[in-house]
Structure formats: C-alpha cells, structure tokens
A = this chain, B = another copy of it.
Amino acid sequence: MLGTLCGVDHHGNRYGRSEAARAAVLEAADDLLVEHGFAGLTIEKIAARAGVAKQTIYRWWPSKVDILLEAFGDDMAEDLTPADHGYLATDLREHLARLADFLTTSDAGAVYRALVGQAQHDPQLATRLRDGHLAAQHARDRLPFERAIARRELVENLDVDLAVERLVGVVHYRVLVTGEPVTREFTDALVDALVLELT
C-alpha cells in the first residue's frame, strides 16, 4: 500500500502517485495477459486499455514483467497457504489440490506461468521471482510437514525440502512441461505414495 495520500482520485501531484492509474494498469495488464497471452501484452495496449499515458507506466514500472509481478502481488500467499486439519495426509491432499487448481485455472496462475516462462529467457526475472515469491511459497509448502513433525507424525530428521519438491515439482512438471491435466486423483495418488513412504 502506498499510504493515505494516494487514495484520492486525481491527476498527480508532487506528494504521491495516482492510485487510480496504478490500479487501472494492473487490471489492464491482467486482462490482456488472459485474453491475448504474453506476446499480446504490450505497454502500448496496457496504456490504451487502462486509459493511461505510456509515460505514466514507464515512470513507475521498468518493464512489463514488473507490472505482472506487481499484479501477481500476494495472490500466491492468499490462495496457497495450507490449512491445518491435524493429519499430514489430509493437509497435503488439500494443499496439492489447491496448488493444481491455482496453477491451471486461476488468473493469478496464468500470470505465474507466464512469469516462469519468461524467467527462462531472463535470469534477472528468475532471481526476483525466486527471492520474492518462490522462497515464501516454499516456506508455506513446508508447513504441513513441520506440523506433522511437531506432533510426532513424522521423524524429526526428515528432509522436508526434498519432500516438498517431490510433491510440488511433479505438479509443476505437468503444468509447465507435459501439459497433462492435474486431476484430484493424480494429486491424491502423489500424496498417498509419499505419505506411505515416509510413515
């Protein structure tokens, strides 16, 4: 949030930027990405759609991926924080199903896939994505395991990072590489196999 000075609808002043313009740009970027894909997402079209001058975009965002990063915001944290059901298997089943849903059906997931795709060509974006979002998400992904360890459901010296990657990685692979559907049956089977192995 940019502070109380920015909430008013105005055309700019020396003490703060236009919140209306900022919101319009983010929404336009989101819409255009979903409608026309990453290639169809140009600064020119964002500006036109948002009813905003190009210069206003360049003033606040260095590139279109910065717009997407800001539009992406905290969607991941909001949608992908695992709930605590008291059982590891249940926690993981729910969480992985949510992850699959997020990646394949949500608008935020579309932005995420575009960003990860672009990160293959842009090492700087890759770094920012990892530091800004993936690290935090990884910490959230660890929670079910850590809770299970705390309640003695799992052994203490478990390699939690590896366990997380063995779930999350497989789902990502389907989404990003093979493109096969990620059904509830698939994620449940993935979780069950792992939980069976670990306990």
Contacts and interface: CB of A to CB of B under 8 A. Distances in A.
B120 A176 contact: yes
Given A116-B120, A117-B121, A196-B197, A162 B190 contact: yes
Interface residues of A, number: 38
Interface of A: prevailing SS: helix
A170 interface: yes
Contacts of A138: 178
Nearest to A165: B170
A172 interface: yes
Given A114-B120, A121-B117, A122-B37, A172 B162 contact: no
Interface of A: 37-39, 113-114, 116-122, 126-127, 130, 134, 138, 159, 162, 165-166, 168-174, 176-179, 186, 189-190, 193, 196-197
8 contacts: A114-B121, A116-B177, A117-B118, A117-B120, A166-B190, A169-B173, A172-B176, A173-B173
